[in-house]
Chain A
């Protein structure tokens, strides 16, 4: 079993330790440091009781993000600042802690530290101090006692203090947050202290039978402690450099790009302005801060949100074994349930997408039991190029209706050169039904998934062509 030397700051303390790189930060905090404010609620990133902040130096400021410590290998915090609830405590209560007490936003108290960390994190990174943004930042946190209403009231109370604030510089923000005792004073020195930490020199050597760890948000759910005994290779060591760029009229996305990085990328905002709305439906903020494109696609879940999204963009995937590289259309990469066209030692380098023409249309639909932090019963994405209500080019994809995230080949082909009419949509739904092979499981019955896909295809057109298609015409 391997052990690596790691240096990072945990709350106010410099850590210099030799440790198995696949130990989770949750276990490090609770078992090594006896910092028990961070709780284990589920070990699958679905409750947020283990939420911590990880601050990464970027130039002369620190980029703080909320993450689930139960799914975070400790090697990923090397050279960074790890903050648990203990590291946020000041002598008294922070205004948010006080608000939770005053508004009865805590009952049993088990989930509470996670909420405190997640919301304090929000104050550290947000540019929009409004309730909707705050709620989105907390979709990864569950409280079973209060029903969340009192927590929302506590949040509203704090947001009032920040009304009018938008983009504040890092230094101003730290000063403000320490002044109001949201953060202890030591936060001011963290940028300097992190600069002095020698960051690990990584090896890119890939050992035999490697397990590639990307964001780890699914791998640590499935394998957890077993990873400590495996030859883990961390993609963060391999896939460095600029993550999102444009080359040769193509959008190129490094496979180690997280969903949050995509969401915040100015390039993505320019080309796919609707993405930041769509991505809120993927996991929680804690998950999006870690989950990568490469991980999501290679996890090969038949319901993967990013897979469905990239299929509709007819993306290509680029793979390498370290020596040679190759690329193929993503739709050809998914072979069967959890089977990919990937050889041993191969890992994903990047994804490329043709820059769409100006008049393209894009829509994503997802239905699950709960809007946020849930896995879809069915999800689907559509990409269209149109001229005068005639479709010139179309890609439709869907998840949850086949053993793989499916590119709906027949349906996409059918749409080419069709005029957008109710009849077209009804026929399209019928064709799509011939292409799918859903199974009944915890996410729904075959009948439901079949009906739902049709409904979501209707939803695509109602959203994209509200002036062309009337609701009554396509709903029977």
Chain B
């Protein structure tokens, strides 16, 4: 099943925000960002900037009619700086002008005096100084680690860092605010969270939610970077529009976007692992120091997911995982595919590799011995159900012949001095649902028009993940009509209220299920109407299929169109609103126990790399994976999602390097300094085997969420590189921080 939405993409006809034909007279906003990472504002002088012809207005925090606050989880983030700035890129003033160019020129004329204060960029230093976003540690635990160390044959400790990651959605942050009669506003935003934009605009402008209509048409990539961080630009556009009574558009340049928006959280983590001599993990302690940046954003929720994924795909009976949300002078870090899960899983893999080397065991033996089995409990109290960890692992080993991969690697390494190969396996287990139970709700508004065409509006935002297509498929299955009859609408808060962000891989699950329920409601009305009108035998089976009504599995001459128009003439309601709340999930944030996830997604990947030991450069040669897709409703979309996630994960672990200097200035703020995988870096072989199953789960039609889980396969690339480095230089250590750039590879190849 192809994604028909892509037909417009390939012709360049898909309309992204900056392509939208904005009303004539639309003004353009540009933001004056703080050039220092921490300081007290002494003075802002906008007089010269205001004199530039074409400048219509310049606004600071004093001009905000409502509350100067955009914080989501915690109210700790101002829209425009007041007396203090806390990161480079913090918005201080908004310039609105006739053109984007004039607005940007005017930004350059704003004068600014500041008393600089100390800058902290390291989360451990922030922790030591007591700069925490949430004052207490978050702790997930089970059993007793303290009482178990003495029973372990081996105990290893270490510290490891994982780096940040720039989302690099190809479309930068953008929004357009338009005044509407009655003091209302329509906002078009490139956001994953239209309701979040709506609520924040109404709060900042001091108007009711029902006066703000927010729409997301489609996004040129999101990856979590437009979940919370699209809001500020939409609100700023709304503020300009409020002040001037004109449409105002803000589109960030790439450099502004990279500088001002948060990224994946860097972590520093201390770990301690205890094992029996045959490789069974008995005890694991870990402390995560999360570099949250200058405001909470989604960091506490992300930290919780780190803790929930601290044990990865493994069963460990005694665990103590502590997390600290550390406040630093970086842009507030935010959601990014995996949402803290990858950072948690990376630390345990490091611990396993360190243990394996010391115990002289292949790491994959330790990995395999500790895989989760059916009914085993996670530290957060949930038990596995339909557990596929062992199944995926064994299938991957057999299907892709791990023995021959191992032998080929060994032979290659024996016969090559300056090139070394390495391989690694990575099992994944990823919990599906928002960690905040409240957010696991979705709605769908389905209209069947009198001509038989169907319109579906949900809270899901299309950003490349194919959710529009999947939702059309849901409606198509229930109405038994072709996809060409069904349209997925833009996401709009007037059509769907109180929506959750399209995030946590759950967009298709939740909005698809809400659509299923809405369609079933209309289906029931159509069925009742048909039976009443046509009086078939009492126990007749009614079905819609191939565009026709079927009775007792035989096709009638009643087409869907005829059924619909007749129903309409008989005053049957052809619209329905479906609501879905993910069942059976709960979580107690005091005890940190519960059943937070609707289900888990499993899989295992094997990655082979080849390192040029003269130059420190490397190639990812192949990726083989067995992945638990559930009963996929669109294998073509899911496969492409899995590959994209996987490559992003490999990028995070290898070449993608965020560098801030000690002044809190981002040095990698352009695409010429921040590199992501390109076509030349793509492995020659990527093979993903579907572990199809029809287990009952909360995904729509028993499919499974796909957006995030395969990202974590990328961790295998890191350890495959480490293994290759060790082949050349056995003295290289294991506490290598990620990303493993060519620089770090070369330095480790030649480390004494």
Instruction: Tally inter-chain residue pairs, CB-CB below 8 A.
Output: 236
* B154-169 with Cβ < 8 A to chain A: 167-169
Residues of A within 8 A of B9 (CB): 100, 106, 108-109, 112-113
Query: 1/0 contact trace for A356-374 toward B, CB 8 Å?
Result: 0000000001011111111
Contacts A116-B12, A369-B742 given: A36-B19 contact, CB under 8 Å? yes
Is B450 an interface residue, CB under 8 A from the partner? no
Shortest distance in angstroms between B620's beta carbon and chain A's nearest beta carbon? Answer: 11
B304 within 8 A of A: no
Which of A39, A93, A152, A225 is B679 in contact with, Cβ under 8 Å?
A152
A444 to B615 alpha-carbon distance, docked (Å)? 14
Q: Does B625 contact A (CB under 8 A)?
A: no
Q: Are B742 and A368 in contact (CB under 8 A)?
A: yes
Please name all residues of chain A whose beta carbon is closer than 8 Å to the beta carbon of B171 when the two chains form the complex: 39, 41, 108, 110
B647, A147: Cβ atoms closer than 8 Å: yes
A97 contacts chain B at the CB level, 8 A cutoff:
yes
Across the interface, name the chain A residue whose C-beta is closest to B465. Answer: A107
Asked if A297 is at the interface of the complex by the 8 Å CB criterion, the answer is no
Interface: B25 (CB within 8 A): no
Min distance, Cβ B16 to any Cβ of chain A, angstroms = 6
Q: Is A130 interfacial (CB-CB < 8 Å)?
A: no
Are B655 and A370 neighbours in the complex by a CB distance under 8 Å?
yes
Measured CB to CB, the closest approach of chain B to A61, in angstroms, equals 26
Q: How far is the CA of A194 from the CA of B659 in the complex (A)?
A: 49
Whether, in the assembled complex, B276 has its beta carbon less than 8 Å from a beta carbon of chain A, the answer is: no
- Whether B644 lies near A107 (C-beta < 8 A) is yes
Choose among B2, B646, B648 the residue that contacts A102 (Cβ–Cβ < 8 A): B2
Question: Is B670 touching A44 in the complex (CB atoms < 8 A)?
Answer: yes
For residue B244, which residues in chain A have a CB less than 8 angstroms away from its CB?
none
Q: For B742, what are the chain A residues with a Cβ–Cβ distance below 8 Å?
A: 367-369, 377
Q: Is the CB of A148 within 8 A of B678?
A: yes
Roughly how many angstroms separate A116 CA and B172 CA in the complex, as a whole number?
21
Whole-angstrom distance between the Cβ of B169 and the nearest chain A Cβ: 6
Q: A107-B640, A108-B171, A451-B750 are in contact. Are A37 and B11 (CB under 8 A)?
A: yes
Interface flag for B410 (CB, 8 Å): no
Q: How far is the CA of A284 from the CA of B4 in the complex (A)?
A: 31
A86 touches B219 (CB 8 A): no
B533 within 8 A of A: no
User: Contacts A135-B679, A149-B686, A451-B747; is A101 near B10 (CB within 8 Å)?
Assistant: yes
Contacts of A40 in B (CB 8 A): 18
How many whole Å from B731's CB to the nearest CB in chain A? 13
Stretch at the interface among A162-170, A239-247, A454-462: A454-462
A225 and B2 alpha carbons, distance in the complex (Å): 41
B562 at the interface (CB under 8 A from A): no
Q: Is the CB of A109 within 8 A of B667?
A: no
Q: Is the CB of B617 within 8 A of A371?
A: yes
- Of the listed stretches A138-146, A178-186, A263-271, A322-330, chain B binds A138-146
Max chain B Cβ within 10 angstroms of own Cβ: one of A110, A141, A475: A110
Interchain CB contact under 8 A, B743 and A113: no
Residues of B within 8 A of A150 (CB): 640, 643
Residue among B170, B253, B671 making CB contact with A108, cutoff 8 Å: B170
What residues on B are CB-neighbors of A112 within 8 Å? 6, 9-10, 12
The residue on A at minimum CB distance from B638 is: A104
Residues of A within 8 A of B253 (CB): 43
Q: Tell me, in angstroms, the Cα distance from A254 to B651 when the chains sit together.
A: 40
Roughly how many angstroms separate A86 CA and B19 CA in the complex, as a whole number? 14
Flag B608-633 by CB within 8 Å of A: 1 or 0 each: 00000111110000000000000000
Q: Tell whether B464 is near chain A: CB-to-CB under 8 Å.
A: yes
Does A447 reach chain B (CB closer than 8 Å)?
A: yes
In the bound complex, how far is the Cα of B218 from the Cα of A368, in angstroms?
35
Q: Which residue of B lies closest to A154 (CB)?
A: B10
A144 and B676 within 8 A (CB):
yes
- Chain A's nearest CB lies how many Å from the CB of B340? 20
Closest Cβ–Cβ distance, residue A448 to chain B (whole Å): 5
- Chain B residues contacting A443 (CB-CB under 8 Å) are 673
Q: Is A85 an interface residue (CB 8 A)?
A: yes
Rounded to whole angstroms, the CA-CA distance of A102 and B170 in the bound complex is 22
B631-683 interface (Cβ within 8 A of A): 636-637, 639-641, 643-648, 655, 657, 659, 667-668, 670-673, 675-683
- Provide the bound-state CA to CA distance between A100 and B254, in Å: 26
Determine the chain B residues whose CB is within 8 A of the CB of A248 once the complex forms.
none
Q: Are A452 and B746 in contact (CB under 8 A)?
A: yes
Interface residue? B584 (CB, 8 A) = no
Q: Which of A44, A105, A462 contacts B672 (CB 8 A)?
A: A44
Known contacts: A370-B655, A471-B417. The answer to whether A36 contacts B676 by CB under 8 A is no
Interface centre among A46, A100, A113, by most B CB within 10 Å?
A46
When the two chains form the complex, which single residue of A38, A139, A458 contacts B680, counting CB atoms closer than 8 Å?
Answer: A139
Q: Is the pair B615, A455 in contact by a Cβ cutoff of 8 Å?
A: yes
Q: Report B-chain residues with C-beta under 8 Å of the C-beta of A447.
A: 747
**B615 surroundings in chain A (CB, below 8 A):** 365, 367, 452, 455-456, 459
B675 contacts across to A, CB distance below 8 A = 368-370, 374
Pair B644/A146 contact, Cβ less than 8 Å: yes
The CA-CA distance from A413 to B615 in the complex, in Å, is 25
Docked CA distance A448–B743 (Å): 6
Question: What residues of B have a CB within 8 angstroms of the CB of A97 in the complex?
Answer: 7, 10-11
Q: Which residues of B contact A148 (CB under 8 A)?
A: 647, 677-679, 682
A221 to B671, CA, bound (A): 11
Contacts A47-B170, A47-B671, A150-B640 hold; do A475 and B657 have CB atoms under 8 A apart?
no
B223 / chain A contacts, CB cutoff of 8 Å: 144
B261 at the interface (CB under 8 A from A): no
Assess the A144–B746 pair: CB atoms within 8 A: no
B5-36 CB contact bits vs A (8 Å, 1 = yes)? 11111111111101101000000000000000
Q: Which B residues lie within 8 Å of A172 (CB)?
A: none
Contacting residues, chain B, for A93 (C-beta < 8 A): 7, 10-11
Measured CA separation A41–B10 after assembly (Å): 17
Name B643's contact: one of A138, A149, A367 (CB within 8 Å). A149
**Closest A residue, CB atoms, query B619:** A371
Q: For the complex, give the distance between the alpha carbons of A462 and B614 in Å.
A: 10
Contact across chains for B682 and A147 when beta carbons are under 8 A apart? yes
Residue B3 CB within 8 A of the other chain: yes
User: Any chain A CB within 8 A of the CB of B459?
Assistant: no
Contact A108 B218 (CB under 8 A): yes
A464 to chain B, nearest CB (A): 14
Complex: chain A residue closest to B747, CB-CB: A448
Complex contacts, B379 vs chain A, CB 8 Å: none
State in angstroms the CA–CA spacing of A466 and B750 once bound together: 22
Residues of B within 8 A of A104 (CB): 2-3, 6, 636-637, 639-640
Cα distance, A37 to B15, chains bound together (Å):
8
How long is the Cα–Cα vector from A270 to B308 in the complex, in angstroms? 63
Give the distance in Å from the alpha carbon of A37 to the alpha carbon of B18 in the complex. 11
Closest A-chain residue to B635, C-beta based?
A104
A151 within 8 A of B: yes
The yes or no answer to B466 lying at the interface (CB within 8 A) is: yes
Contact yes or no, B673 A442, CB < 8 A? yes
B705 near A: Cβ within 8 Å? no
Smallest CB–CB gap between A236 and chain B, Å? 24
The docked-state distance in angstroms from the alpha carbon of A409 to that of B19 is: 54
Whether A113 lies near B678 (C-beta < 8 A) is no
Nearest B residue to A441 via CB reads B667
When C-beta atoms are compared, the residue in chain A nearest to B666 turns out to be A442
CB-defined contacts of B12 to chain A, threshold 8 Å: 36-38, 84-86, 89, 112-113, 116
Give CA–CA (A475, B420) in the complex, Å. Answer: 15
CB <8 Å contact, A109 and B14: yes
Q: Is the CB of A49 within 8 A of B170?
A: yes
B678 & A452 in contact (Cβ 8 Å cutoff)? no
Task: Give per-residue flags for A362-398: 1 if the beta carbon is below 8 A from chain B beta carbons, else 0.
Answer: 0001011111111101000000000000000000000
A149-B686, A371-B681 known; 16 other A-B pairs, CB under 8 Å? A41-B172, A44-B672, A46-B672, A107-B465, A109-B6, A110-B221, A135-B680, A142-B170, A143-B170, A146-B647, A148-B679, A148-B682, A150-B643, A370-B678, A370-B681, A442-B667
Listed by A's residue number, 10 A-B pairs whose Cβ atoms lie within 8 Å are: A40-B18, A86-B12, A89-B12, A107-B6, A147-B645, A369-B675, A374-B675, A455-B614, A471-B417, A475-B418
